[in-house]
Structure 1
Amino acid sequence: MNTAVEDKGNRTVGKPGLMRAGIILFAIGMVAVVAVFVLFAAGLQDLPVWLSAFAGVVTPLGLGLGLIALVREHRQR
């Protein structure tokens, strides 16, 4: 009796490029968020707009890319 078994030997080891990009963007965004909190805690009130925008845009963008990569990888299995 033959059973169908998926051959996983040909798959590459490591994360796909989209997942890596998501992780990198999320990490950079988190560094920006920490920088905003540290600067605000240090007493600076006029923080650069680009830093706040970077923290508010790059972090969710990285999270979204990571989730998209995760869903795409799950659908391929």
Structure 2
Amino acid sequence: CLTWCHWLKQNGYETDFEQYIHHYPDKRGEQLANIYPYKLLGEFHQWLDETYIPEKFPEYVRKFVTPEECKLISEAIGYEINLHP
């Protein structure tokens, strides 16, 4: 599965973006995060729909939610997330 940045590189986009410090509430704490240009929003949505949601999101979500929450998330995004794949 390609990360967003790898997808950009693979598709010929520049990946040297300005960054800011983002604070994650979990154990990751403060991390540098890229500031992506608005013009990439359409490409990001495409990557999200075609790559992240089907390939990575279910595994990520299953780490943190209950079966009922999996059902609600599945209904909200229109993609089945089973607690036990």
TM-score relative to the length of structure 2: 0.26
Greater helix proportion: 1
Q: Which structure has the greater CA radius of gyration?
A: 1
Higher relative contact order (CA 8 A, sep 6+): 1
Greater strand proportion: 2
